[in-house]
Chains A and B, each alone.
Chain A
């Protein structure tokens, strides 16, 4: 559900999923304006997968939970008409199927290029646009360049984790970052 913005300034959604050994999987979605100021924040209650789900979903378990369940639930709560959705996990990337907005993956250095046409923005925190429709890419690049003037692309994800921690939803002191290398290896 989204409301068109009056201003021409684009807003951006940052979506990530955290895994807490005790609590389970939690998703967070932070919407910021082009200066990085928060507009909306949504987080999910923790959910856990069962052993049966782990067996049956196999390598598709995390993409399913991250995108079809957590990501979809979060995106459904959006009330801002965001211009771009930024994710920082490979398993979150398929959330593009849940929204008409372009979805880009930040910090693609941790992901092997999918093919030769893989496009990445420049700068300190580059983003991978590979899954975008070629027609969407120029606009996405422009938006990312606009955002990157004020915000480190990976920084809002720190805020999401802080906020989820502040909300008392995380139990463990050190959460498992699902972007760990072995996780990608498993997904591959």
Chain B
């Protein structure tokens, strides 16, 4: 009870039970008293005192303590001032849904924002990442199962490398395996040298004995292409290799669930499984099931409804498009250039189509997809070049457009399905000093070719095959892309286009798709246009996805042919 000044006399003692007044609990409570006083009023009759204890409920506290993190001793490295981030946003690392314990979830939430971690002098970056890239890193960092499915050109490689770096620096990952298509091995080496220069990368290559030696090294980051990994399956098994993180680049490679590659990557012993792909659904939604066999086995199964699938993967897949995150990125202008074939080409085309259809018709019930496919290929080749005379209206059109490209000092990429076409173009476009990048160019020479295209001012054009050049290359200094002929799948065409239209491109990218008027190319284009719209069906609400490549029925329908199951309608 408070002590009163000597000059005052208590008038009344009123103890207030505030907890009772408030209807609160009286357990574990302490009582205070309020004393109403008056001075020089000793003659006044004293009223009856009512005590109301002032109850203070004990405050309950929940506590969490975190294991100290290993840190490099202070003063070992030169410090650099923290950049002024007062007004910038803080990118939080949030716990994935599969982390259940509150203590574990809080251990993520209470970490400093990503900007603080990256600005630390221990993790110096060559460039400041975009906000969405930081979001991507914050997404990958806490996840054991993740699919980074950003549209091509948004920097999936940089996000994966930087997150790997953070995991290695925080000692959460000691052995990382990175699997990528063969042509992209040097690209990954470059990206690691740029974004994580202190992390050694070992590339598995060479003869068997050397590869085994390299596997035994247990490097921090081991880089291997898919084919070599499949070949070395027994070595990996015998050495009992375990990885803290396995990253699959262009993970659509494992979409075939019964394929060897899918089986081999599934058998890798690992803690974290990440897949990177710009085209998570290349042909059908079942592609995603193949990828999830590696990333999070059992999460998806074939036959799931798209909405159900979307729900199941929502915490594991991160997909952003350029429209969404790069609103200030230069535009991509796509135009279809319908070209009339030369008279020679047209004659050859009509002969080939008529004869081909008759031949197919004569096959009757023995007709197979392969027969139709061969006819389509023959016709498409004629649309490129007349086999007899070498005439090509597409080539003439291309040459005319390249004049303008070269005159303005810009550069162009030309894509074709065939090496034969590329070689013919090379011979007839010599004035533009073309570079060639396709399957016949040895891997050892490919970097030199790209360097020539990048640095030689006379070299205005690079001729690429979809197979060799569509994925992973950074050619954002090119302002023009020409699709000399069309691929079967819009996702692959998009990959090709995004070699130029990606982060870092200085201005708009103009894409020209050549179409031979009145030919099978136009019919294929109509089917592909429908499929393109359905590309993201699994990530949108309720639309039924379809196969994105030409199906068996669609191929037959190109010629109004009957399949063994019945006649299909022409496209």
Q: Which residues of A contact B (CB under 8 A)?
A: 9, 27, 30, 32-45, 47-53, 56, 69-70, 73-74, 76-77, 79, 124-125, 148-152, 155, 158-159, 162-163, 166-167
Say yes or no: A37-B109 contact (C-beta < 8 A), given A45-B60, A53-B18, A69-B59. no
Q: Which residues of A contact B106 (CB under 8 A)?
A: 41, 163, 166-167
Judge whether B209 is part of the interface by a CB distance below 8 angstroms: no
Q: Which residues of B contact A43 (CB under 8 A)?
A: 61-62
Q: How far is the CA of A9 from the CA of B74 in the complex (A)?
A: 8
- B85-97: CB near A (< 8 Å → 1, else 0) gives 1100010100100
Judge whether B441 is part of the interface by a CB distance below 8 angstroms: no
Contact indicator B61/A44 (Cβ below 8 Å): yes
Contact indicator A158/B90 (Cβ below 8 Å): yes
Contact indicator B110/A163 (Cβ below 8 Å): yes
- B51-65: CB near A (< 8 Å → 1, else 0) gives 000101111111111
What 12 new A-B contacts, CB under 8 Å, besides A34-B74, A163-B110, A166-B102?
A9-B74, A32-B112, A35-B116, A36-B112, A45-B59, A51-B22, A73-B61, A124-B84, A150-B120, A155-B90, A158-B90, A163-B109
Contact indicator A69/B111 (Cβ below 8 Å): no
Contact partner, A77, options B18, B63, B92, B110, Cβ 8 Å: B63
Contact indicator A35/B112 (Cβ below 8 Å): yes
Q: How far is the CA of A98 from the CA of B68 in the complex (A)?
A: 27
Q: Which residues of A contact B56 (CB under 8 A)?
A: 69
Tell me the minimal C-beta distance from A56 to chain B in angstroms: 7
15 contacting pairs across A/B (C-beta < 8 A)? A37-B69, A38-B107, A38-B111, A41-B106, A43-B61, A47-B57, A47-B59, A48-B24, A53-B18, A73-B58, A79-B65, A124-B84, A151-B116, A159-B109, A159-B112
Q: How far is the CA of A48 from the CA of B60 in the complex (A)?
A: 13
Q: How far is the CA of A171 from the CA of B65 in the complex (A)?
A: 25
**Which residues from 7 to 25 on chain B have a C-beta closer than 8 Å to any C-beta of chain A?**
16, 18-19, 21-24
- Interface SS of A by simple majority: mixed
Contact partner, A150, options B18, B59, B116, Cβ 8 Å: B116
Contact indicator B59/A44 (Cβ below 8 Å): yes
Tell me the minimal C-beta distance from B91 to chain A in angstroms: 11
Contact partner, A125, options B54, B71, B81, B86, Cβ 8 Å: B86
Top 5 A-B pairs ranked by shortest CB distance?
A50-B22, A73-B59, A36-B112, A124-B86, A38-B110
Q: Which residues of B contact A69 (CB under 8 A)?
A: 56, 59
Contact indicator A167/B59 (Cβ below 8 Å): no
**Which residues from 332 to 361 on chain B have a C-beta closer than 8 Å to any C-beta of chain A?**
none
Judge whether B82 is part of the interface by a CB distance below 8 angstroms: yes
Judge whether B34 is part of the interface by a CB distance below 8 angstroms: yes
Nearest neighbor of B57 in chain A, beta-carbon distance? A47
Q: How far is the CA of A79 from the CA of B84 in the complex (A)?
A: 32
Q: Which residues of B contact A9 (CB under 8 A)?
A: 74
Contact indicator A149/B65 (Cβ below 8 Å): no
Nearest neighbor of A160 in chain B, beta-carbon distance? B110
Contact indicator A152/B68 (Cβ below 8 Å): no
Contact partner, B92, options A39, A124, A162, Cβ 8 Å: A162
Tell me the minimal C-beta distance from B27 to chain A in angstroms: 13
Tell me the minimal C-beta distance from A60 to chain B in angstroms: 13
Q: Which residues of A contact B34 (CB under 8 A)?
A: 56
Tell me the minimal C-beta distance from B167 to chain A in angstroms: 16
Contact indicator A52/B18 (Cβ below 8 Å): yes
Tell me the minimal C-beta distance from A144 to chain B in angstroms: 13
Say yes or no: A48-B120 contact (C-beta < 8 A), given A36-B112, A41-B64, A163-B109. no
| Most chain B CB within a 10 A radius of its CB, from A38, A40, A79, A148 | A38
Q: Which residues of A contact B105 (CB under 8 A)?
A: 166
Q: Which residues of B contact A42 (CB under 8 A)?
A: 61-64
Q: Which residues of B contact A51 (CB under 8 A)?
A: 21-22
Contact partner, A40, options B60, B64, B74, Cβ 8 Å: B64
Nearest neighbor of B87 in chain A, beta-carbon distance? A124
Contact indicator A152/B62 (Cβ below 8 Å): no
| Most chain A CB within a 10 A radius of its CB, from B60, B61, B107 | B61
Q: Which residues of B contact A52 (CB under 8 A)?
A: 16, 18, 21-22
Q: How far is the CA of A79 from the CA of B112 in the complex (A)?
A: 21
| Most chain A CB within a 10 A radius of its CB, from B60, B65, B110, B119 | B110
Q: Which residues of B contact A32 (CB under 8 A)?
A: 112
| Most chain A CB within a 10 A radius of its CB, from B22, B24, B109 | B109
Contact partner, A44, options B60, B107, B113, B120, Cβ 8 Å: B60
**Which residues from 29 to 88 on chain B have a C-beta closer than 8 Å to any C-beta of chain A?**
34, 54, 56-66, 68-69, 71, 74, 79, 81-82, 84-86
Q: How far is the CA of A159 from the CA of B74 in the complex (A)?
A: 25
Say yes or no: A149-B21 contact (C-beta < 8 A), given A41-B106, A166-B109, A167-B102. no
Q: How far is the CA of A155 from the CA of B84 in the complex (A)?
A: 13
Tell me the minimal C-beta distance from B33 to chain A in angstroms: 12
Tell me the minimal C-beta distance from A9 to chain B in angstroms: 6
Say yes or no: A35-B22 contact (C-beta < 8 A), given A45-B62, A149-B82, A155-B113. no
Q: How far is the CA of A152 from the CA of B112 in the complex (A)?
A: 10
